[in-house]
């Protein structure tokens, strides 16, 4: 990794500007999951302990630039940090056009950077303004590494020193290990509702993995591509040829897609809907597939037990409803019990990990959603590209 690291720098009495991803879910002013804040704290603490004057900013939501909205304010995040850190925490709302002082050993939180006009379009003047506030720019927002914005890219161009924070490095190392130097067999589990949103990752992974496991609505499109009737299940007709191509690619490489022989159906997606187990050959016109069946899941479990690397993005059924959660639950426990290096990413995946209480048994859980997908798709993320350029 040709990137400067925060932990290798002398930070004493330096002004350090950290771009974190503190984009946490907030309901009625309360943070419902502080995971991203907790993951960002090691970098913030490290800089404070080294005697730096530390500033941190983040986006929260997608507010309109130039317009303050209290629901997108970092205020609840500041309250969380005040309770969590043993350092003084100051909050500054208007930090672009009004001078402010920073002090060693103090954390200054700078309000949602997406309120700033020019942030999203990586405005050069704004990026230079950000850079003028600091001696060292620290990119720690891996979850936003796929965005070329003034606080994720432009500032890294113009700051005297640009480096990666502790979380950023950990994310990058985990993704590189799983995707570029995998121990084999390497398997990928790609679930979720739509092939269209995961077509590139499915295509990229089909060239790397020994087994590709598909679940959720994505599996329906693949089942259709294999020639089975899927009744009224959600699928993407126009992507059936793409699914066929992916299957062919896997077969040509002697990689495989575990056999889907049975499924769990309902007639409508409803919390009170009865679950009916069916052989894949017996799907009726009005059936909707909401989970994989026991035999199909057992095939998946066998793959997981043999794997040395597991990349997991997305559930394999509607696990939010108990009657359709068995497939995802069984698979989640199999991944947790495996000795393989397991890398999980994406909001639904993290929700499944939490629901089935296995967070401590997954090798690495990424804080990123879109950035995780884009990295796994093989794209060069702008934040990585600029840090490498500045190395
Ligand atoms: C995320 O939630 O995936 C990251 O915080 C990035 O947010 P964005 O998609 O609004 O850039």
> What pLDDT is attached to residue 196?
84
User: Do the beta carbons of residue 321 and residue 329 sit within 8 Å?
Assistant: no
Distance CA(91)–CA(108), nearest Å, equals 6
314 confidence band (pLDDT: 50, 70, 90): very high
Candidates 161, 71, 158; CA nearest to 122 is 158
Average pLDDT over residues 165-169: 98
Residue 143 near ligand 1, beta carbon < 6 Å: yes
Distance 78 CA to ligand 1 centre (A): 19
The residue to mutate among 39, 57, 370, 382, having the most atoms of ligand 1 within 8 angstroms of its beta carbon, is: 370
Euclidean distance between the first and the last CA atom of the chain, given in angstroms as a whole number: 10
Average pLDDT over residues 184-200: 91
What pTM value is reported for the model? 0.94
What are the structure tokens assigned to 231, written together?
């009744």
Residue 62 near ligand 1, beta carbon < 6 Å: yes
> What pLDDT is attached to residue 197?
87
Average pLDDT over residues 78-102: 96
Distance 33 CA to ligand 1 centre (A): 15
Residue 369 near ligand 1, beta carbon < 6 Å: yes
Distance CA(284)–CA(233), nearest Å, equals 10
> Each residue of 199-253: pLDDT tens digit?
999 999 999 999 999 999 999 999 999 999 999 999 999 999 999 999 999 999 9
DSSP-assigned letters across all residues of 154-182: IHHHHSSEEEE-HHHHHHHHHHHHHHHS-
**Ligand 1, atom nearest to 147 Cα:** 11
Choice among 77-81, 132-136, 362-366, 368-372 with the minimum mean pLDDT: 368-372
Distance CA(215)–CA(325), nearest Å, equals 12
Residues known to be catalytic: 36, 194, 347, 370
The residue to mutate among 57, 112, 144, having the most atoms of ligand 1 within 8 angstroms of its beta carbon, is: 144
> What pLDDT is attached to residue 195?
83
Average pLDDT over residues 24-36: 94
Residue 144 near ligand 1, beta carbon < 6 Å: yes
SS3 call for 259? coil
Whether the per-residue pLDDT at 193 is higher than 90: the answer is no
- Percent above pLDDT 90 for the chain: 96
Largest CA distance in the chain: 70
Four-point Cα dihedral 345, 350, 353, 354, nearest 10: 160
Distance CA(317)–CA(315), nearest Å, equals 6
H-assigned helices in the chain: 35-49, 75-84, 124-132, 155-158, 166-180, 195-206, 216-225, 240-252, 294-306, 326-337, 347-355, 370-376, 382-390
259 confidence band (pLDDT: 50, 70, 90): confident
Cα–Cα distances (Å) from 224 to 48, 80, 218, 235, 318, in that order, read: 55, 48, 10, 8, 19
Average pLDDT over residues 104-131: 98
Distance 343 CA to ligand 1 centre (A): 19
1 confidence band (pLDDT: 50, 70, 90): confident
Distance 128 CA to ligand 1 centre (A): 23
> What pLDDT is attached to residue 44?
98
Residue 19 near ligand 1, beta carbon < 6 Å: no
Identify the burial level of 83 via C-beta atoms within 10 angstroms of its C-beta, where 0-12 means exposed, 13-18 middle and 19 or more buried: exposed
Distance 22 CA to ligand 1 centre (A): 10
Q: Whose CA is nearest to atom 3 of ligand 1?
A: 369
């Amino acid at each position: 990794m040709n990137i400067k690291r925060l932990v290798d720098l002398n930070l004493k009495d330096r002004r350090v500007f950290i771009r974190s991803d503190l984009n946490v879910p907030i309901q009625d002013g309360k943070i419902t999951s502080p995971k991203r804040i907790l993951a960002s704290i090691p970098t913030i603490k490290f800089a404070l302990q080294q005697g730096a004057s530390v500033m941190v900013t983040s986006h929260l939501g997608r507010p309109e630039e130039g317009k303050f909205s209290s629901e997108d304010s970092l205020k609840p995040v500041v309250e969380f940090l005040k309770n969590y850190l043993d350092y003084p925490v100051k909050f500054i709302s208007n930090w672009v056009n009004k001078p402010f002082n920073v002090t060693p050993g103090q954390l200054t939180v700078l309000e949602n950077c997406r309120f700033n006009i020019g942030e999203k379009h990586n405005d050069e003047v704004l990026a230079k303004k950000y850079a003028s506030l600091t001696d060292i720019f620290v990119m720690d927002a891996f979850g936003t590494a796929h965005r070329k914005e003034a606080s994720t890219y432009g500032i890294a161009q113009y700051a005297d020193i640009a480096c990666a924070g502790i979380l950023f490095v950990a994310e990058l190392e985990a993704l590189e290990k799983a995707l570029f130097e995998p121990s084999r067999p390497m398997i990928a589990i790609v679930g979720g509702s739509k092939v269209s949103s995961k077509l590139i990752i499915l295509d990229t992974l089909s060239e790397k993995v020994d087994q590709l496991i598909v679940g959720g609505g994505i599996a329906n499109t693949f089942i259709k591509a294999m020639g089975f009737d899927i009744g009224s299940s959600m699928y993407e007709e126009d992507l059936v040829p793409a699914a066929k191509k992916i299957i062919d690619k896997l077969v040509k490489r002697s990689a495989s897609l575990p056999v889907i022989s049975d499924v769990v159906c309902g007639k409508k997606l409803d919390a009170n809907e009865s679950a009916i187990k069916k052989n894949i050959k017996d799907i009726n016109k009005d059936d909707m597939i909401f989970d994989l069946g026991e035999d199909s899941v057992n095939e998946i479990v066998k793959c997981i037990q043999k794997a040395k690397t597991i990349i997991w993005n997305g559930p394999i059924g509607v696990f939010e409803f108990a009657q359709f959660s068995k497939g995802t639950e069984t698979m989640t426990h199999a991944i947790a019990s495996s000795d393989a290096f397991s890398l999980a990413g994406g909001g639904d995946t993290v929700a499944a990990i939490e629901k089935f209480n296995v967070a401590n048994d997954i090798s690495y859980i990424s804080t990123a959603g879109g950035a995780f997908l884009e990295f796994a798709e093989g794209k060069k993320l702008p934040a990585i590209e600029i840090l490498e350029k500045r190395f």
